[in-house]
Amino acid sequence: MEGLIYSVEDDKDISKIINLTLSKQGYQVESFYDGKTFFSRLDEKIPEMILLDMMLPDYDGLEILKKIRSNPLYDSVFIIIISAKRMLIDKIDGLDYGADDYIEKPFDILELMSRVNSKFRRIKKTNEVVYKDLVINKEFHIATYKNIKLELTVKEFEILQILVKAQGRVVSRDEILNKIWGEGDDLQSRTVDMHIKSLRKKIGNEGIIETVYGVGYKVV
């Protein structure tokens, strides 16, 4: 899939149209009809984009925006408001509270698709690398696993970044050594192993970094 999108829309007809259209474009779309269900899922997995209705049965759209933008874990998430509110002040409030774009209802589905595609082109140019539940943000030097920030040393961060960027490809010890320490020896090779052991412990999932014996490591 090209990217994960959360559609938060209580009108099920509109939600279905959004889901079908963007899914056909290759996006992975998950639909939510209320704020509670949406936040429960957001705690489990961070999307690249959120399409947000401003009038939900249990939450005000501005409340959701405030809550999302108050958490640095979600700084890289693009938010497009889709709302029946047409007053200029509503648009200003939405953008001031952290939305990246604002679309009025009723909207043309082709316009929405165009804006989503445009935002994803920008997302690809950011400094964030994602592999399943592992997220590396090079700009802010933050690594997270299942939305939980990992407290890593500089070398651990660099090693994890190399593995995540490899997207499941096996990375040899020599490649890690050359990229981080330069030409290595047997002592430094063992240092790589120690850093991998520490990474596994801090991530809390011993199987997330797999050892390919005689070759190197990969994320799984």
Residues 129-178: tens digit of each pLDDT: 888 889 888 767 889 998 888 999 989 999 999 999 888 899 998 888 88
Least-confidence region, from 72-76, 86-90, 180-184:
180-184
Q: Which helix (H) or strand (E) holds 26?
A: none
Q: What's the pLDDT score for residue 1?
A: 42
Report the DSSP beta bridge partners of residue 80: 51, 101
Higher pLDDT, 40 or 207: 40
pLDDT class of 49 with cuts at 50, 70, 90: very high
% of the chain at pLDDT higher than 70: 93
Average pLDDT over residues 187-212: 86
The overall pTM is greater than 0.85? no
% of the chain at pLDDT higher than 90: 52
pLDDT class of 127 with cuts at 50, 70, 90: low
Are 92 and 111 in contact by the 8 Å Cβ rule? The answer is no
Are 46 and 73 in contact by the 8 Å Cβ rule? The answer is yes
Phi and psi for 45 in degrees, rounded to 5?
A: -150, 135
Mean pLDDT of the chain: 88
Are 99 and 78 in contact by the 8 Å Cβ rule? The answer is no
Higher pLDDT, 50 or 85: 50
Q: What share of the chain is helix, strand, coil (3-state, %, to 5)?
A: 45, 25, 35
Query: Residue 38 burial (CB < 10 Å; 0-12/13-18/19+)?
Result: buried
Q: Sign of torsion, CA 3 28 199 183?
A: negative
Nearest one of 104, 46, 56 to 80, comparing CA atoms: 104
pLDDT class of 75 with cuts at 50, 70, 90: confident
Q: What's the pLDDT score for residue 102?
A: 93
